[in-house]
């Protein structure tokens, strides 16, 4: 039972890490494309990170994170 709980928590931590890393990468791209005035790419990345953050918020609200 304890091992199952640890495995479950490890998987949860991995999912959180994966999502946070995804957001971090998107923010880096947003910064670089804004500096370079590549606004269409910036807009695309901004929309993607907003979607990801909404999914994270939904997971928190459903206690499924």
The per-residue pLDDT for 34 is 98
Q: Total domain count for the chain?
A: 1
Tens-digit pLDDT string for the chain (65 aa) = 688 878 889 998 999 999 999 999 999 999 999 999 999 999 999 999 999 999 999 999 998 77
Cβ count within 10 A of residue 29: 18
The per-residue pLDDT for 5 is 76
Structural domain that includes position 31: 2-61
The per-residue pLDDT for 1 is 66
Concatenated DSSP letters of the chain: -HHHHHHHHHHHHHHHHHHHHHHHHHHHHHHHHHHTT-HHHHHHHHHHHHHHHHHHHHHHHTT--
**Which CA distances in Å does 4 have to 1, 18, 31, 59, 62?**
5, 21, 41, 21, 22
């Amino acid at each position: 039972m304890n091992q199952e709980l640890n495995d479950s928590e490890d998987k949860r931590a991995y999912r959180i890490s994966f999502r946070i890393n995804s957001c971090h990468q998107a923010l880096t791209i947003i910064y670089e494309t804004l500096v370079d005035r590549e606004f269409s790419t910036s807009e695309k990345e901004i929309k993607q990170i907003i979607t990801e953050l909404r999914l994270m918020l939904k997971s928190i609200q459903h206690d499924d994170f």
